[in-house]
């Protein structure tokens, strides 16, 4: 068995790397923010004081966004996080097209002291695929 591993070290490394990539999205790679699905996001959105934050570019946001979503593009979030201060201890669901930019936004919000930050897994794409309402 050990001989097989040594003879096929590249295959073993590829196997381990691909396995790590499969579980990566489920780990806390969102800067300490929890990744949540559409069902959990809907539950959180119904809590008093919850905020949905869309960090996409203006044209993307205008094309369709989650109901009652507040729009601050990711590039502006660092300097505009103060506008969201009243939500520091409330649920903040962050979304983008697929979940990558919202992951970066979650890290920014966590560093700014927000305590309940959630990244919508799959972003607006997953939301639309689940046939949930979108506002324009």
CA distance 87 to 13: 44
pTM of the complete model beyond 0.85: no
pLDDT digits (tens, 9 = 90+) for 44-56: 999 999 999 999 9
Number of domains, the chain: 2
Catalytic pick among 52, 96, 106, 117: 96
Residue 134 lies in a domain: no
Looking at the fold, whether 19 and 44 belong to one and the same domain comes out as: no
Range 37-44 average pLDDT = 96
Nearest to 58 by CA among 67, 69, 50, 49: 69
Does the annotation count 96 as an active-site position? yes
Range 102-125 average pLDDT = 96
Looking at the fold, whether 7 and 50 belong to one and the same domain comes out as: no
CB 120 within 8 A of CB 94: yes
Alpha helices by DSSP H, listed for 57-121, are: 58-63, 74-80, 100-111
pLDDT digits (tens, 9 = 90+) for 1-23: 667 656 777 665 666 666 555 54
Residue 10 is part of which domain span? 1-29
Residue 136 lies in a domain: no
Looking at the fold, whether 74 and 86 belong to one and the same domain comes out as: yes
């Amino acid at each position: 068995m050990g001989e097989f591993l040594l003879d096929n070290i590249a295959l073993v490394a590829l196997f381990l790397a691909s396995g790590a990539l499969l579980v990566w999205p489920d780990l806390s790679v969102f800067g300490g923010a929890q990744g949540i699905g559409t069902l959990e996001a809907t539950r959180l959105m119904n809590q008093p004081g919850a905020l949905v934050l869309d960090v996409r570019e203006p044209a993307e946001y205008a094309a369709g966004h989650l109901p009652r979503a507040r729009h601050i593009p990711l590039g502006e979030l660092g300097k505009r996080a103060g506008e969201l201060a009243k939500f520091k201890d409330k649920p903040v669901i962050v979304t983008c097209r697929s979940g990558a930019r919202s992951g970066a936004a979650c890290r920014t919000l966590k560093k700014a002291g927000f305590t309940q930050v959630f990244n919508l897994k799959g972003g607006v794409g997953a939301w639309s695929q689940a046939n949930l309402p979108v506002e324009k």
